[in-house]
Structure 1
Amino acid sequence: MDKQSLFVQVANLEERIGELYVELGTLKQKIQDLIEENQRLERENEHFQQESLGKQSANGPGSAQDNLTRIYREGFHICNVKYGSLRTEGECLFCLSFIQKT
């Protein structure tokens, strides 16, 4: 192996390492941004949960209507057709009409 080809290989390797270093820096920044967003969303979620609990405690132990609406928002059917089963295909017109009636 001659010195020139060895030098070219080392130069190519150095260039690839530099590119990987830049890519690693970009990934680290994206991870940092995601961590910050996750913390913000956790705080926001906690705030909404506390706000929701505050509303429930102000109105008493929560009405049946509030409980059914909460169950529906959590992804379960509240209609008499599929009561208690998991909603897998988006909104259910039966459940929505039941919520609007009461």
Structure 2
Amino acid sequence: MDKKDLFDAFDGFSQNLMVTLADIEAMKKQVQNLLEENTSLRIENTKLRERLSQLEHETVSKSLNQGKEHLENIYLDGFHVCNSFYGQRRENDEECVFCMGLLYRE
């Protein structure tokens, strides 16, 4: 190989290295953008999970309160809501200790 061929080979190799370096820089920038987006999405996901948990807790509380209200209405209509006599009419609207314990326990 003569000197000109050797110089041309080095020149071509140098050009290939420059192109490869530019590709690496572009890939590096793309990875950086992806990492930033990933971090942003993780933060958003955490906030959404917290909000979802809060809403689920509120929904459970509401449904428990609504269930208790329905039982109170049934009891006020003159029917038992306790396990022992559920659905039976309370005679003379007398209070039932079991129903009261169920309705007003904490």
* TM-score (norm. length: structure 2): 0.56
What is the CA–CA distance in structure 2 between the aligned matches of 1:62 and 1:10, rounded to whole Å?
77
Q: How far, CA to CA, are the matches of 2:31 and 2:62 in structure 1?
A: 40
Runs of 5+ unmatched residues, structure 1: 64-102
SS at match of 2:60: coil
Structure 2: tracts of 5 or more residues without a match: 64-106
Q: Which AA in structure 1 matches 2:29?
A: Q
User: Which residue is 1:52 aligned to?
Assistant: 52
One-letter code of the match for 2:16? Answer: R
Q: How many residues align?
A: 63
**Shift of residue 62 of structure 1?**
8.7
Q: Say whether residues 1:12 and 2:12 are aligned partners.
A: yes
Change (3 A) 1:57 1:13: same
> 1:58 Cα shift?
1.6
Counterparts of 1:1-102 in structure 2, within 5 Å, are 1-60=1-60
Structure showing the higher helix proportion among its residues: 2
Give CA-to-partner distance per residue, 1:32-53, whole Å, 9 cap, x none.
0000001111111111110000
| C-alpha distance in 2 between matches for 1:31 and 1:37 | 10
Asked which structure has the greater CA Rg, the reply is 2
What RMSD over aligned residues (CA atoms) do the two structures have, in Å?
Answer: 1.6
1:59 Cα deviation from its structure 2 partner: 2.2
Detail structure 1 runs of 4+ shifted over 4 Å in the superposition.
none
